[in-house]
Structure 1
């Protein structure tokens, strides 16, 4: 069972990861962080976060691959996933990787707007 208070931020840029963490903590979330896809899968298995923010360009496994593994796993398939990337939103590449993210945000972004968009997804899905 997923823990609705936990959010995992998977971002290889420490500054961006920290900013997202600060804003999410202000909203009352328990924030877990890592900078690579392999460790992300380990944390997901152990901690069972309710929401995962994934950068696309990660060492180890890409955000696309992590997302695919989350969505094809029976225990984690309903986890809310937010894709965060410097790569512009390209529906062709999203389809190519069969990404089933709930939200796609591009860098640079406004942290306040980013968190507001996450809250909208949470309210829409009713998961957290």
Structure 2
């Protein structure tokens, strides 16, 4: 059985490239284009891991992360924040919201795939 990975990002190019990489790794890929859809998808589909953009319409990735951590049903979901916001305060905010990892854009796709593989191992 393959793991479900949710890609929550509002940038179509990033969604396409991440979807391709995750499918190539053998994961079932789910996509959400805004924060509200991301949270609904996490609660409904229970993905093993979420690649979560910090800045999305509806709800920010930070808000989604906090909501997931506050929900006993999905609290164990692994979350990797993917964001262009790379200042120390942003990283601290992401990790403080409960993200398991924080990756700044632009990122190495090879490194990201390795991180996902390690987190799901």
| TM-score normalised over the length of structure 2 | 0.91
Say yes or no: does 1:35 pair with 2:33. Answer: yes
Please state how far the C-alpha of 1:93 moved relative to its aligned partner. Answer: 3.7
How many Å apart are 1:122 and its aligned residue? 2.2
Give the secondary-structure state (helix, strand or coil) at the position aligned to 2:112. helix
Q: TM-score normalised to the size of structure 1? A: 0.86
Q: Which residue of 2 aligns with 1:75?
A: 73
CA distance in 1, matches of 2:5, 2:87: 23
1:60-99 → structure 2 map (5 Å cutoff): 60-90=58-88, 92-96=89-93, 98-99=96-97
Provide the C-alpha distance between the structure 2 equivalents of 1:112 and 1:94, rounded to a whole number of angstroms. Answer: 21
Moved more, 51-60 or 113-122: 113-122
Q: Distance in 2 between matches of 1:96 and 1:28?
A: 31
- Structure 2 unaligned blocks of 5 or more: none
Aligned length: 120
